[in-house]
Structure 1
Amino acid sequence: MRIAAERLADTTLPTAHGTFRLTAYRDSDGHEHVALSLGLADGAGDGPGAAPAAPLVRLHSECLTGDALGSRRCDCGEQLHQALAAVAAAGRGAVLYLRGHEGRGIGLVEKMRAYALQDGGLDTVDANLALGHPADARTYAAAAAILDDLGVGAVRLLSSNPAKEAALRELGIEVVARERLTVAARPENVRYLTTKRERMGHDGPPVDDWEALLSGVVPAAGDLADRYGALVAHAGPLVLAQLGQSLDGFIASRTGDARFVTGEEDREHLHRLRALVDAVVVGGATAARDDCRLTVRDVPGPHPTRVVLDPGGRLPRETALLTDGVAPTIWVVGPQVTCGEDEPGAGLAPHVELVRWPGSWAMDPAAVLDLLADRGLERVLVEGGGRLVSAFVAAGVVDRLFLTTAPVLVGDGVPGLRVEGRDSMAEALRPTARRWLAGEDVVTELVLRP
């Protein structure tokens, strides 16, 4: 049964994951709720059949102990932050924080009584039942009313609970996809998580290490965990850089041919890096020369937002980045680019955002990162070319540099990484490094900022 939800206040809320629109509601049962949203225009609508446009939505049940007090008896607090990060990365969606859901709807005091029974050996379901409550007393009518008010009729639901999907469908909200939300188990909550799976039908843990990493869970061991676990576990903004070059330091031949310096295993590694970031950045010359797509194709994973730094606005209109529509593209051009018939921005595809660089100064790496952070893109991969990667490294804004060397000698060509020269070897940069083999190539990971 539908209930009403009245909108009472609208403001903004800066968080560690980005700045969200914060909208307050009170439902007809007297419960107050909030929606933290990005990119939702009131009345725009995402009705049935709007699968490509459906925003990412999380229905998050209030949990004082987990969300505010950091309890490890549950996974609620970690799920809340993971959901906010996911919506920020998507750039469009909402986290609905639903009050009156404490303890799966039994209230704070009763939840604490249930905790005491769990201390004596009952699981979460039996503890609720022993107190005379349902295993799950929550309803989602208020959530459906809030989505209606936000103009959202179809969602990609961020949840490991199939019951939420069923409830929204029954309330008339189309669920075009349900994306699992999984956090790592802890000794204190492993029984709680097992009960959710075995007795309440929640999704199980990811089936392989890469799926686990994509969901934000770092496996206990394995090559993928060793290589990418620290990136997944890193909290806050993260800047990576990657180059593949020959043993003598070139990323392409003197004719510009760069296909392919490194082998298939290194390309798989590159695609894994793309899948773990919000945005990938390339220079305009590289994008024009290679007609690159900058998508994730060799491994499962989401495509990042593609960012082209093109001061002269010379990227051809027919390039894949401006025409394929596969992933959002931000085309940053210099202020001197002239208006007219060929003005960048005229007739661009809907997936392309044209950004004019403010002022007359160069595209400073730190300012580029600020521009992306303003759009909720805080995990960034700088991919090429060599001058761009070198500029970001020289600016001191790169956290980790992945430099792959192939057993090939080019002799002359497009230079790869270049850093400021030193007068003595004692002054040379010697960051913490580790290496692994990618087929015949060697990947060196340099930790430039701890």
Structure 2
Amino acid sequence: MSVHPTQTEPPSAPVGVERVAETVLPTKYGVFRMLGYRDSGGTEHVALVRGDDGGGAPLVRVHSECLTGDAFGSWRCDCGEQLDAALAAISVEERGVVVYVRGHEGRGIGLLAKLKAYALQDQGVDTVDANTELGLPVDARRYDQAAGILRDLGIGAIRLLSGNPAKEEALEALGIAVVERRGLGVSERTENARYLRTKRARMRHDPGGPDVWTSLLDGVVPELPEDDLVRRYGYLAAASGPIVVGHARQSLDGFVAPRSHSPALPQEPSDEGHVQRLRALVDAVLVGVSTVLAEDDPLLVDEVPGDTPVRVVLDATGMLPPDSRVLTDDAAPTLWLVAQDVDVPSTLAASVEVVRLPAGALDPTNVLDLLRQRDLDRVLVEGGGATVSGFLEAGLLHRLYCTTVPVLIGDGIPGLRFSGAHAPVQIRTAPVRRFVLGHDTCSEFDFTVSQ
């Protein structure tokens, strides 16, 4: 039997809000404006705002306070992970709002009542019946304070990050147009599986939808915790708009290979499927022809779950050999980008499309425009050094994974290179996360965050 959330008797007048303070909050997901509000009942709320007010309806998460999930990392619910996923999605899009509504603990019944409900759940009662056995409503939340905050921010239409249709209906009734609603796809855990099933079966929550973490949670290294995978790649799995990710692997002194190309950098067999995970989460993987000539990698996804993306080779002069594996392996489509006057073989596999561009038009901006016209919005620029450097130089990378191998070459094929800084203030920087891949060290730069 489906139970529609009920509310306590509403007060005679809607709850109004007053903006009290504004500051800046740097977070692991970037820098947000943080605005503090007080409602007419005395409860304090905050809004985290990223980006400007242009460009249509922003991503919005109206997040109910949950001390156990948000602060303590509880796995009895998915609240903390939903909040993290919302901040990550807004960070990727570089525009959006999280309205953090206090007074919503335990769907509005309060912290201590929630703990009493937990105790009943420990005895086998589900989350709906636990509330009703305590004589409390299934859902006592109201959203007029959230609607008031959005109106204060000049927002009348939103793309709501929620799997709860009741939240959408409440905001719509309060005059906030919900032009889209989508879930955040956080992974289900053993500890919260029953709780999530109850929300779906008895509170009309969406039945999961596409699991954006599928490509993350099984891998070649079973001992790698799921949390690490989501932390490393979750933003890419949840990305809703265009995103360009760069990947470079180079020696400690900045070379991708010796001058002879052989031997190349030693491969690290314990890299936890890092590059293949990136491939599995994008629409297109792009390389320069020099990388194909050096490695003849077919750019497949065959060691982790997920599909091989469209393969894109930048080859202005047509140097790619006809027997290259990206041309002969039909596991995925290949776009071979060449200049207009370049001769290519007349007979190619059906999976290969030759795309001719005007001379000088194979620059990063034009290439991305071409891919987006084909609905290839999520792009991994995998190599080599010159190709990744071109996208970095053009300011088109949202993130960059730079993996350093503990060897010194002294001289060789350069890795990342771009126009140098003339003063310390011009040095390129961004928030960085680091993780170990076997013997290699990977530094992830987040260029979506203003410095």
For the superposition of Structure 1 and Structure 2, which TM-score range results when normalised by the shorter chain? 0.5 to 0.7
Q: Distance in 2 between matches of 1:200 and 1:126?
A: 12
Aligned letter for 2:212?
A
User: Cα distance, 1:145 vs. partner?
Assistant: 0.2
Match of 1:108 in 2: 111
Match of 1:255 in 2: 317
Contact 1:285 1:310 in 2 (8 A): no
Instruction: Report the secondary structure of 1:24's partner residue.
Output: strand
Match of 1:212 in 2: 212
Equivalent in 234, 240, 246 of residue 247 of structure 2 = 240
**Does the alignment pair 1:70 with 2:63?**
no
- Per-residue CA distance 1:124-174 (angstroms, 9 max, x = gap): 000111111111111110000000001111111111111111111111111
Aligned letter for 2:17?
A
Give the alignment's TM-score, normalised by structure 1: 0.57
Aligned letter for 1:125?
V
Moved more, 148-157 or 301-310: 301-310
Moved more, 170-179 or 248-257: 248-257
User: Cα distance, 1:27 vs. partner?
Assistant: 0.8
Q: Distance in 2 between matches of 1:301 and 1:192?
A: 36
**Does the alignment pair 1:287 with 2:363?**
yes
Q: Distance in 1 between matches of 2:365 and 2:86?
A: 38
Match of 2:411 in 1: none
Instruction: Report the secondary structure of 2:149's partner residue.
Output: helix
**Does the alignment pair 1:91 with 2:153?**
no
Change over 3 Å in CA distance of 1:288–1:39 after alignment to 2: closer
Change over 3 Å in CA distance of 1:28–1:305 after alignment to 2: farther
Moved more, 120-129 or 231-240: 231-240
Change over 3 Å in CA distance of 1:87–1:120 after alignment to 2: same
Aligned residue runs from structure 1 range 329-348, under 5 A: none
Change over 3 Å in CA distance of 1:236–1:129 after alignment to 2: closer
**Does the alignment pair 1:56 with 2:56?**
no
Change over 3 Å in CA distance of 1:247–1:219 after alignment to 2: same
Moved more, 121-130 or 233-242: 233-242
**Does the alignment pair 1:176 with 2:196?**
no
Aligned letter for 1:449?
C
Contact 1:305 1:330 in 2 (8 A): no
Equivalent in 129, 132, 137 of residue 134 of structure 1 = 137
Aligned length in residues: 311
Change over 3 Å in CA distance of 1:36–1:219 after alignment to 2: same
Change over 3 Å in CA distance of 1:171–1:308 after alignment to 2: farther
Contact 1:73 1:189 in 2 (8 A): yes
Q: Distance in 2 between matches of 1:117 and 1:130?
A: 9
Instruction: Report the secondary structure of 1:205's partner residue.
Output: coil
Aligned letter for 2:19?
R
Instruction: Report the secondary structure of 1:9's partner residue.
Output: strand
Q: Distance in 1 between matches of 2:380 and 2:179?
A: 22
Aligned residue runs from structure 1 range 309-324, under 5 A: none
User: Cα distance, 1:449 vs. partner?
Assistant: 3.1
Instruction: Report the secondary structure of 1:115's partner residue.
Output: helix
Change over 3 Å in CA distance of 1:259–1:142 after alignment to 2: farther
Aligned residue runs from structure 1 range 396-407, under 5 A: none
Contact 2:107 2:139 in 1 (8 A): yes
Q: Distance in 1 between matches of 2:112 and 2:227?
A: 38
RMSD, matched Cα = 4.5
- What percentage of residue pairs aligned between the two structures are identical? 44
Q: Distance in 2 between matches of 1:97 and 1:169?
A: 18
Change over 3 Å in CA distance of 1:123–1:265 after alignment to 2: same
Q: Distance in 1 between matches of 2:46 and 2:194?
A: 30
Instruction: Report the secondary structure of 2:118's partner residue.
Output: helix
Q: Distance in 1 between matches of 2:78 and 2:22?
A: 29
Q: Distance in 1 between matches of 2:197 and 2:126?
A: 10
Q: Distance in 2 between matches of 1:80 and 1:297?
A: 32
- Per-residue CA distance 1:290-322 (angstroms, 9 max, x = gap): 744374688x886479999769x9x9xxxxxxx
Name stretches of at least 5 consecutive residues in structure 1 with no aligned partner: 45-51, 270-283, 316-327, 332-356, 380-396, 401-430, 433-446
Q: Distance in 2 between matches of 1:229 and 1:297?
A: 34
Match of 2:32 in 1: 20
Q: Distance in 1 between matches of 2:63 and 2:420?
A: 39
Instruction: Report the secondary structure of 1:103's partner residue.
Output: helix
Match of 1:160 in 2: 163
Q: Distance in 2 between matches of 1:285 and 1:448?
A: 35
User: Cα distance, 1:112 vs. partner?
Assistant: 0.8
Give the alignment's TM-score, normalised by structure 2: 0.57
Aligned residue runs from structure 1 range 258-277, under 5 A: 262=326, 265=331
Change over 3 Å in CA distance of 1:171–1:150 after alignment to 2: same
User: Cα distance, 1:268 vs. partner?
Assistant: 7.9
Q: Distance in 2 between matches of 1:28 and 1:305?
A: 49
Change over 3 Å in CA distance of 1:204–1:142 after alignment to 2: same
Aligned letter for 1:212?
V
